[in-house]
């Protein structure tokens, strides 16, 4: 397993280009299964999750080709069975269920496993598909879904902690080919859901209201091919903004969507990080002494859970007390014990982390546990004195396109150490 060796203490300077959003491109690739015509997706980040989703589509009989940042998918023929060995590796693969059901009226898809950030059930996905008339059973670790005919209906997709992002996308995809009108209430409002709806509408679907809690889908008989450019990754942009502030540098983030980043930009402002917007570019630097902020993660447009770990690192560098409360995923504090190894003082009280910031961090070997935690550990290594080695970086390669190259171009002293 590769690791990243970081010699910290260098302020980041320069420009960085933001890639396409991982969380949009994965359901978009699944959506391409809804037609037998070719689909082309542009500005696709080169991530292990994308290649992996490509393998899943190929295992279902679709053609998948990646040329530079363009992906070509054609599901001329399709089989409706996806097995455990593929699905267990990536939770997002569950969103093939809706398209398979829409197109083939039946599917057998392995349940994705849990993961370190919580149990991550799929009950809402199944509830939504059942509301469209699918007969769903779970047996021997597989979801068996059958629907001689999908029929539009009203479905409430709010769960214990609010809406579900991929669940909304999954039901929306199946409903495009259902008979009549589907109304999803308590739909997720994330920009990635809007991107999926735009992709589907480009294929001939009739979806309105995406990005609001009520989404309406008028079913059509058939969808056709589409060409689409993925939205920029708001989580990647936030990660670089926080890295600039954490190292006391000044960077310009190119090609972002600041309108998708309001909660993060607002909190950075409160923390005395100056963000200057010029169209799609953001210049980020400290406005002086950092200030502690309290943060609660929430569904969009609240503060994203995917930026919680990175923001925690910034707060460890900020004199004073900050409280970071995680409301979307239980046990998403795996990074805390690793940050403690660098000298951070963080106490966990139920869903909250209390950060006593301001002590300098010093480098040490640490272990990445999940995707966003890995990004946080890299930021911590950049801000710490001495050398930090982040082990198990395969997590970061799942969701950040060439992060070490991008950081090196900003002046970071970061090297990938290949496992021998």
Active-site residue flag, 189: no
User: How many residues does the structure list for the chain?
Assistant: 420
Least CB distance from residue 225 to ligand UD1, whole Å? 23
From the list 70-78, 159-167, 358-366, 377-385, the region that binds ligand UD1 by CB under 6 A is 159-167
Per-residue string for binding with ligand UD1, 114-153, x by CB under 6 A?
A: ----x-xxxxxx----------------------------
Would you call 252 helix, strand, or coil by DSSP? strand
Work out whether 236 is an interface residue with ligand UD1 (CB under 6 A): no
Work out whether 224 is an interface residue with ligand UD1 (CB under 6 A): no
With CB under 6 A as the contact rule, the residue among 6, 193, 215, 328 that binds ligand UD1 is 328
Work out whether 234 is an interface residue with ligand UD1 (CB under 6 A): no
Size of the site for ligand UD1 (CB under 6 A): 24
State how far the Cα of 321 lies from the Cα of 119, in Å rounded to an integer: 30
Going by the DSSP 8-state scheme, the letter that residue 177 receives in this structure is T
Work out whether 23 is an interface residue with ligand UD1 (CB under 6 A): yes
Among 109, 165, 101, CA closest to 134: 101
From the list 81-89, 113-121, 251-259, 355-363, the region that binds ligand UD1 by CB under 6 A is 113-121
Least CB distance from residue 332 to ligand UD1, whole Å? 8
Question: What residues have CB less than 8 Å from 312, skipping those under 6 apart?
Answer: 324, 335, 336, 339, 346, 353, 355, 376
Question: Closer CB to ligand UD1, residue 73 or residue 166?
Answer: 166
Work out the end-to-end distance of the chain between its first and last CA atoms, rounded to an integer number of angstroms. Answer: 9
Work out whether 386 is an interface residue with ligand UD1 (CB under 6 A): no
Structure tokens belonging to residue 21: 């959003």
Work out whether 310 is an interface residue with ligand UD1 (CB under 6 A): no
Work out whether 220 is an interface residue with ligand UD1 (CB under 6 A): no
Among 325, 315, 312, 418, CA closest to 373: 312
Cα 210 to its chain centre, rounded Å, is: 18
Question: Closer CB to ligand UD1, residue 196 or residue 251?
Answer: 196
Question: Closer CB to ligand UD1, residue 133 or residue 167?
Answer: 167
Work out whether 91 is an interface residue with ligand UD1 (CB under 6 A): yes
With CB under 6 A as the contact rule, the residue among 62, 100, 165, 324 that binds ligand UD1 is 165
E strand residue ranges, 61-189: 63-67, 70-74, 81-82, 106-110, 135-139, 142-146, 154-156, 181-185
Work out whether 158 is an interface residue with ligand UD1 (CB under 6 A): no
85: enclosing H helix or E strand: helix 84-87
Near ligand UD1 in 237-296, by CB under 6 A:
none
| Crossing angle of helices 22-31 and 48-59, rounded to 10° | 10
- Phi-psi group of 402: left, alpha or beta (phi > 0 → left; psi -120 to 50 → alpha; rest → beta): left
Sheet harboring 352-357: ordered strands across? 295-296, 320-325, 352-357, 345-349
Which residue in the list 39, 95, 115, 189 is annotated as catalytic? 115
State how far the Cα of 180 lies from the Cα of 110, in Å rounded to an integer: 29
With CB under 6 A as the contact rule, the residue among 167, 249, 258, 292 that binds ligand UD1 is 167
Work out whether 316 is an interface residue with ligand UD1 (CB under 6 A): no
Structure tokens belonging to residue 8: 């910290």
Work out whether 306 is an interface residue with ligand UD1 (CB under 6 A): yes
Per-residue string for binding with ligand UD1, 38-77, x by CB under 6 A?
A: ----------------------------------------
Q: Are 50 and 58 contacting, i.e. CB atoms less than 8 angstroms apart?
A: no
Cα 305 to its chain centre, rounded Å, is: 10
Question: Closer CB to ligand UD1, residue 45 or residue 167?
Answer: 167
Q: Are 173 and 102 contacting, i.e. CB atoms less than 8 angstroms apart?
A: yes
Structure tokens belonging to residue 164: 């579900």
Beta-strand relationship, 250-254 and 13-17: parallel
Least CB distance from residue 139 to ligand UD1, whole Å? 18
Structure tokens belonging to residue 272: 């005395």
For the annotated catalytic residues, the residue numbers are: 115
Binding region for ligand UD1 (CB under 6 A): 23, 26, 91-92, 118, 120-125, 159-161, 164-167, 188, 192, 305-306, 328-329
């Amino acid at each position: 397993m590769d690791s990243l060796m970081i010699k910290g203490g260098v302020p980041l300077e320069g420009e960085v280009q933001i890639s396409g959003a991982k969380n949009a491109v994965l359901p978009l690739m699944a959506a391409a299964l809804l037609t037998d015509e070719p689909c082309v997706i542009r500005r696709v980040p080169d991530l292990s999750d994308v290649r992996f989703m490509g393998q899943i589509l190929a295992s279902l009989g679709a053609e998948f080709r990646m040329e530079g940042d363009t992906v070509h998918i054609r599901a001329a023929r399709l089989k409706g069975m996806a097995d455990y060995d593929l699905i267990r590796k990536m939770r997002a693969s569950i969103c093939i269920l809706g398209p398979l059901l829409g197109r083939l009226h039946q599917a057998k898809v392995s349940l994705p496993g849990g993961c370190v950030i919580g149990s991550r059930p799929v009950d809402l996905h199944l509830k939504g598909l059942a509301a469209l008339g699918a007969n769903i059973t779970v047996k021997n670790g597989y979801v068996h879904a059958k629907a001689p005919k999908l029929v539009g209906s009203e479905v409430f997709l709010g769960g214990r902690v609010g809406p579900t992002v991929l669940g909304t996308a999954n039901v929306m995809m199946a409903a495009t080919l259902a008979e009549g009108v589907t109304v999803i209430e308590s739909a997720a409002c994330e920009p990635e859901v809007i991107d999926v709806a735009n992709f589907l509408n480009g294929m001939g679907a009739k979806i309105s209201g995406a990005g609001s809690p009520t989404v309406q889908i008028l079913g059509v008989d058939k969808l056709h091919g589409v060409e689409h450019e993925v939205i920029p990754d708001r989580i990647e942009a936030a990660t670089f903004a926080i890295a600039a502030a954490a190292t006391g540098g000044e960077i310009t983030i190119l090609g972002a969507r600041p309108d998708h980043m309001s909660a993060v930009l607002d909190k950075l402002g409160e923390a005395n990080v100056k963000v200057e917007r010029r169209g799609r570019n953001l210049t980020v630097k400290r406005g002086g002494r950092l200030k502690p902020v309290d943060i609660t993660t929430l569904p969009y447009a609240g503060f994203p859970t995917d930026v919680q770990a990175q923001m925690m690192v910034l707060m460890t560098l900020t004199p004073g007390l900050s409280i970071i409360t995680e409301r979307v995923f239980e046990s998403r504090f795996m990074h805390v014990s690793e940050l403690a190894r660098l000298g951070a003082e963080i106490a966990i009280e139920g869903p909250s982390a209390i950060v006593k910031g301001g002590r300098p961090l010093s480098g040490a070997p640490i272990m990445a546990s999940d995707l966003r935690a890995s990004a946080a550990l890299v930021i911590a290594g950049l801000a710490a004195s001495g050398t930090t080695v982040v082990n198990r970086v395969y997590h970061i390669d799942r969701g950040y396109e060439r992060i070490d190259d991008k950081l090196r171009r900003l002046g970071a002293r970061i090297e990938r150490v290949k496992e021998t």
